[in-house]
Amino acid sequence: MIFGPRVFAKIAVAGTCCFLMQHVCTLQHFAHRSAPHTTQILDSSKFVANADMSGEHAHPIPASVMTWLYSVPASTPLFSKLREVVPRLFFDAVSGCEEIDPDWLSEACVVAGRYATNQSGTSLSMPPFAIRVKSPSSSEGALMPALHLAGASVDVRAASFLLYHVSLVQLSSTLVIKKGNAANAGGAYSLLGPVLPKYASECTFAVTGDRFIHLCLRMHLPSWCTMLSPGGCYRDLSALIPATVNDLVRPYVDAQVSDLIKSRDASTDDIVLFVVAVTLISEICGSGSLGLRYNREILFAKEGLPVPFVLCDFPVDGLVTDAYGYVDGTTLYVCNGLGVDTAISLWVSALSKAGCASIVVDFVAGRADSTNPLRKYST
């Protein structure tokens, strides 16, 4: 990004104009969207304003539109017409956005909540904010009361509850659920199982970071309350079990990842082992796009790129229990009852058919050359 004119006369004028345009955009940016990005005037390479112009930081509904919707008087005919369409537009916009800013969603709930008021005669109480309490099931009819509830105040907890409902309805209406076929698994895990602990002892998790720890911790919480804390749930855990939170967190934080693999039985549906193993495979491939998708993240899985998934406390229609396996686009391959070894073998087999993850696929197929890092750990 050009911050000012360079020494060459030819581009001096162009550089100056670019700088002034960025300055104007930055001022507009602060005026319309002060909450999410006030601390990010510029990053290492470009103005945030420029990123907004290219859509990189765009919210599902622009701030200017939200401001206008909030300003429409409730007594006007226009408000009555908007009431018929705004809630649904809001649901569609939120459900189609993978990264949602908590502050933006809280404010948007207040705006959209104006138009959902009195649309339903029933009231929806907040579920218990307590550890290991199951989240409520959802239906299309529950969205309006949830929106009305979330619109009552700027509250991230209520916004998380709303996002839970919206996401659950979206998943239930789009997913095609199939049972994983153990006959097609092959023997990928029999080869990868002995290698993963050796790789784990040297892995720095440069691609996925400590996300696998947060995923394991989130499984102890009702999913509705963690929808807006994908990067970490320590605050939620502290709010729920302040006296014993360390007893829950420390085993995951202090454990050696290699020991987590060695101490668990891969022939069972050990979800912690599944999370750790697929995370290590993503690290081996150096690809964040192969990372595990948890609950709502399944909505944004791409066709032709099979990725592992976990549904925990997320009652999707067609499933009678929590589930794990792999997802390809909108097709969910459930591996419950098959064991972690079979589930990972099925995923690697799907990767092979899709032409992805060549490092792991070539190693399992026995054609890994000297440049394949897994050869180092197989001896």
User: Model confidence over 275-295: pLDDT tens digits?
Assistant: 999 999 999 998 889 999 999
> In the predicted model, what is the mean pLDDT of residues 171-189?
92
Question: Which residue, 154, 174, 194, sits at the end of a domain?
Answer: 174
| Assigned domain for 60 exists | no
Task: Tell whether 343 and 196 lie within a shared domain.
Answer: yes
pLDDT for 174 beyond 70: yes
Give the domain range for residue 190.
176-377
Quick one: tokens of 320?
Answer: 């009678």
User: Model confidence over 318-366: pLDDT tens digits?
Assistant: 888 899 999 999 999 999 999 999 999 999 999 999 999 999 999 999 9
Task: Tell whether 309 and 226 lie within a shared domain.
Answer: yes
pLDDT for 57 beyond 60: no
The Cα 240–Cα 65 span in angstroms is 37
User: Of 56-60, 131-135, 257-261, 272-276, which range is least confident?
Assistant: 56-60
Task: Tell whether 238 and 263 lie within a shared domain.
Answer: yes
The Cα 243–Cα 127 span in angstroms is 22
Question: Which residue, 174, 200, 235, sits at the end of a domain?
Answer: 174
What is the percent of the chain where pLDDT is above 70? 79
Number of domains observed in the structure of the chain: 3
pLDDT for 151 beyond 70: no
What is the value of pTM for the model shown?
A: 0.80
User: Model confidence over 61-73: pLDDT tens digits?
Assistant: 887 888 899 899 9
| Assigned domain for 283 exists | yes
| Assigned domain for 4 exists | no
Residue (of 134, 133, 141, 87) closest to 113 by Cα position: 87
> In the predicted model, what is the mean pLDDT of residues 30-59?
42
Task: Tell whether 186 and 314 lie within a shared domain.
Answer: yes
**The pLDDT of residue 3:** 38
Task: Tell whether 241 and 334 lie within a shared domain.
Answer: yes
Question: Which residue, 174, 191, 214, sits at the end of a domain?
Answer: 174
Residue (of 180, 222, 175) closest to 318 by Cα position: 175
| Assigned domain for 344 exists | yes
The Cα 304–Cα 50 span in angstroms is 32
| Assigned domain for 247 exists | yes
Task: Tell whether 192 and 125 lie within a shared domain.
Answer: no
Sheet containing 331-334, strands listed edge to edge, beginning at the edge strand earlier in sequence? 176-179, 331-334, 323-328, 307-311, 293-294
**The pLDDT of residue 276:** 95
Residue 270: band (very low, low, confident or very high) from pLDDT cuts 50, 70, 90: very high
Task: Tell whether 316 and 209 lie within a shared domain.
Answer: yes
**The pLDDT of residue 252:** 84
